[in-house]
Structure 1
């Protein structure tokens, strides 16, 4: 079933059909798409079909569901369904148009449908329509399913497909000669072509293309990840930067809330926490923010003490939050726990608190964790075995690896492989290459970078990027080029990032640490000097470079440049 849950706000008939198909074990090999959007509809600007049922070796059934308690086909040809206004476009016509729209879409994409029955039907879930509706030349009797069919939904679908295939055999010579499709491979391909049409997400921030928000579909790998969420109680998703972990974390939380559960969506990074809180604000029953914000809330602290020590975060705050969770009982315990950037929260004291936050604890709770244990652990516990500690606390947690890069253009990803010494590195990319290479600029002194930065920003603007589409990143917490530049124009437009999208005309800058988990259309990374950096330079470089979706400019100190590119000058 896709999606893996039935939204609570759909009509009762759709819920009934969804439940009837989902609960029957004979449908294990079937693929059922619910609420499939149709962008290229044969009649309307856009449309939707309630269910598309793909049955290997039997056919495809497009179903329009009607939940109404009364059905009235009037003398003038109009339909009156329940309390809805009369309409001349009846349910059978709706189903037929959706079917022809999907057939056309699949044929355009090269799917061989010569022996694949694609049929339409209407399911009246509240009435016995098969006996109520008189024969009519506008539809076939086999296209009617009703309330009685809910008792054995798979049998009703197969009955309809069989009758429809016989009708096609009568009309199309040799239609089913040699067998009826789709086979399992073709069924999977059809699902992969149709499925991205029902679930779209607007990427945070405007994409480069035509300066309009671009719709990006889930890739097959991400759907398998969501299937893993539905089929397993606890899952650890691991993958490199750009593999869609944060996006999947958000979608997983939405699905948990949609089926009536209460929970938490937590991350480590403050800016990412702001973005998640802003994007998920419409969901009731979900606490969203950083892990430390949640500790402060549980501890009853309105603000952080001035100049807090590491011991405050690791010991004092966790102890106070632990006491609050113990004293608060079930009222503070979540039904589920989604954690992004879990590699930065995998310390023992932090895991002690997480264990109390979710029903069943880390051992038996509903856990959906997302992390990059290779290079994105750039904070204090980077050298510790965070993955091992998670496994010891959650022994039944399944692992699911994400491998495909959904964020960066391929040329950016390949340079990340080289400079960050990733093994095996990015192998597959969701996005098509546009032929523009990342730009790596050598510098000798810090002062040189100011003019280089101004030139890089102007070049990006000439290419068509607005200032609010660009971010300037540095591994330096103090004294970065963006912070101390003397360029008059840069000083007017530069603004410290706060985790929220920049306003028009603003050019944001940030540390790499703070911007982890976020992305921008164009990224300029400055101050890349291995000799002046901390031990985790490769990790910082990796995080910084992978923030760029479309354009990347990096200023690298000459010695670092030579080492990175094998002695190049």
Structure 2
């Protein structure tokens, strides 16, 4: 998988650019390549400013500047002008555009003293939606190898680029006789070229500034999501659905607060224990809201101090519910809730749960104030059955409101779910990207990942993240790398997550399951291996979307190939 800069392709990009971007990002043959997309050229050799659609830097082969044309029809008129689709005819053909961008880039690198000795830099035009190579004739204005087309894209973008670089290098050498021995760029040249053309400059702000900016963004963007609550204020029962990062938990909390401010008393419930503890702490001073997990609240109603040590589904969905129902049958109406807000509704949409809520809520589920928040499509990691029909059957006049805008993750992190094809995409993003792509580190099955985990944590520390801002999440429990590592430093800093305030100088670790509903500024995912982790795609999706700003993922080699569409 190539290092794509940026790591995602905007939906507004032409279809040909999106297709080529996806092909390069997912091809295992591009693993050590660097690809710059939509590179602006402020000092263009011909125009006030210009752009290179793609600059592909391939170690030991060269640099290819690509002009992409997505048009369904291409014609060269009798006067030599090009007509692309329905656009007006132009004298500057696609190869000429690529050539001008290439010379602009070459001049920029030379002016900034970037060593490109031994590095072939060539250009080409890629007609992604036509069989251009079969129909565009030879001409003194371009060389045959400078034309790529839809067949090249279908058969493999990487192999087409390698062919073009090979032919382009041979052409340059036949004319200039400049290449002797191995071709560049080497790794140092690759990094220098990439950083010169698209430099990172987040160092201009202090980490403290960025931390305050992140916290302010998250608060401000959630304020915008509150419009969803305003829109649904006049509906008795509402189901808010949306993918991870769209603000469901914070909206659920705000919904409970708004109900309490109107003098009502009620309950805020969720499924996961860690999230339940967090919600309970945040509502500790509220007289009108009882917050925590659904099952912890039923234990309290049933008068039980704790669950049996060997409690299973028969207890949680059977004996506990029955005991709570018996207690609630004795209640006066004033003990029942004016409202119930349920987060993680996809995990609680069960007949036994709604039997309990029917007695817990004034006027029951068919007539009481009920607000539900959930992601039934992607976060039902405990029960893969879609239980929305049950909700509509039990609740009756249930209004649905869909949340589509991500307000938690930086866009590059959210786009990682698309890279691995575990989520089709968000409608938009509230936060501005900071230019730092997620990091994916491969490991061999059966090998200890401790050194890779330690390296990831140290890198995040060097960037400015406090240890307490980092969470290590795994698909596994007792045999996760964080739980069983014998590395002395890791053992000193790692502590199991419990949903409470994080300790200074400590990194929490948890299963992805248990961390669902929570987030952390920086997340390291470990043990990502299809072998023994089900449902793997759903867990990967949940894990990725826990990170607000930084993501490092340790992925087993064959699993990585499968995620990118290759063979195991």
TM-score of the alignment, normalized to the shorter chain, above 0.5: yes
Provide the residue aligned with 2:385 in structure 1: 384
CA contact (8 A) 1:406 1:430 kept: yes
Cα offset, 1:350, TM superposition = 1.1
Paired with 2:514 and 2:556, the residues of 1 have a C-alpha distance of: 22
1:77-135: CA deviation from partner (whole Å, max 9, x where unpaired): xxxxxxxxxxxxxxxxxxxxxxxxxxxxxxxxxxxxxxxxxxxxxxxxxxxxxxxxxxx
Mark the runs of 5 or more structure 1 residues left unpaired by the alignment: 1-205
Query: 2:209 matched to 1:217?
Result: no
Q: What pairs with 1:366-385 in structure 2 (closer than 5 Å)?
A: 366-379=369-382, 382-385=383-386
Provide the residue aligned with 2:149 in structure 1: none
Paired with 2:303 and 2:226, the residues of 1 have a C-alpha distance of: 39
1:178-207: CA deviation from partner (whole Å, max 9, x where unpaired): xxxxxxxxxxxxxxxxxxxxxxxxxxxx99
Cα offset, 1:210, TM superposition = 5.4
Instruction: Name the SS for the 1:531 alignment partner.
Output: coil
Paired with 2:346 and 2:565, the residues of 1 have a C-alpha distance of: 31
Runs (4+) off by over 4 Å: 210-213
Provide the residue aligned with 2:366 in structure 1: 363
Which stretch shifts more, 449-458 or 326-335?
326-335
Instruction: Name the SS for the 1:328 alignment partner.
Output: coil
Question: Given the alignment, which residue of 292, 296, 304 partners 1:293?
Answer: 296
Provide the residue aligned with 1:518 in structure 2: 518
Provide the residue aligned with 1:345 in structure 2: 348
Provide the residue aligned with 2:441 in structure 1: 441
CA contact (8 A) 2:222 2:247 kept: no
Paired with 2:501 and 2:452, the residues of 1 have a C-alpha distance of: 25
Provide the residue aligned with 2:15 in structure 1: none
Paired with 2:307 and 2:358, the residues of 1 have a C-alpha distance of: 24
Paired with 2:479 and 2:555, the residues of 1 have a C-alpha distance of: 16
Provide the residue aligned with 1:333 in structure 2: 336
Mark the runs of 5 or more structure 2 residues left unpaired by the alignment: 1-207
Instruction: Name the SS for the 2:531 alignment partner.
Output: helix
Q: What pairs with 1:98-117 in structure 2 (closer than 5 Å)?
A: none
Paired with 1:340 and 1:472, the residues of 2 have a C-alpha distance of: 24
1:257-289: CA deviation from partner (whole Å, max 9, x where unpaired): 001000000000100011111112221121111
CA contact (8 A) 1:561 1:568 kept: no
CA contact (8 A) 2:472 2:523 kept: yes
Cα offset, 1:229, TM superposition = 3.3
Q: What pairs with 1:57-206 in structure 2 (closer than 5 Å)?
A: none
Query: What root-mean-square deviation, in Å, do the aligned CA atoms of Structure 1 and Structure 2 show?
Result: 1.8
Q: What pairs with 1:222-371 in structure 2 (closer than 5 Å)?
A: 222-371=225-374
Cα offset, 1:556, TM superposition = 0.6
Change (3 A) 1:211 1:366: closer
Paired with 1:312 and 1:328, the residues of 2 have a C-alpha distance of: 23
Query: 2:411 matched to 1:410?
Result: yes
Paired with 1:446 and 1:524, the residues of 2 have a C-alpha distance of: 19
Cα offset, 1:385, TM superposition = 2.9
1:348-385: CA deviation from partner (whole Å, max 9, x where unpaired): 11111111111111111101110000111111xx2323
Provide the residue aligned with 2:541 in structure 1: 542
CA contact (8 A) 1:528 1:556 kept: yes
Change (3 A) 1:488 1:220: closer
Paired with 1:237 and 1:213, the residues of 2 have a C-alpha distance of: 24
Instruction: Name the SS for the 1:327 alignment partner.
Output: coil
Cα offset, 1:320, TM superposition = 0.7
Paired with 1:433 and 1:568, the residues of 2 have a C-alpha distance of: 32
Paired with 2:272 and 2:343, the residues of 1 have a C-alpha distance of: 9
1:279-313: CA deviation from partner (whole Å, max 9, x where unpaired): 12221121111000011011110111121122011
1:492-550: CA deviation from partner (whole Å, max 9, x where unpaired): 0100011012111011100111110000000000001012212x111111111100000
CA contact (8 A) 2:222 2:250 kept: no
Paired with 1:391 and 1:417, the residues of 2 have a C-alpha distance of: 31
Provide the residue aligned with 2:506 in structure 1: 506
1:1-37: CA deviation from partner (whole Å, max 9, x where unpaired): xxxxxxxxxxxxxxxxxxxxxxxxxxxxxxxxxxxxx
Paired with 1:208 and 1:539, the residues of 2 have a C-alpha distance of: 30
Instruction: Name the SS for the 2:349 alignment partner.
Output: coil
Instruction: Name the SS for the 1:349 alignment partner.
Output: helix
Paired with 1:212 and 1:516, the residues of 2 have a C-alpha distance of: 21
CA contact (8 A) 2:445 2:557 kept: no
TM-score by length of 2: 0.61
Paired with 2:365 and 2:272, the residues of 1 have a C-alpha distance of: 22
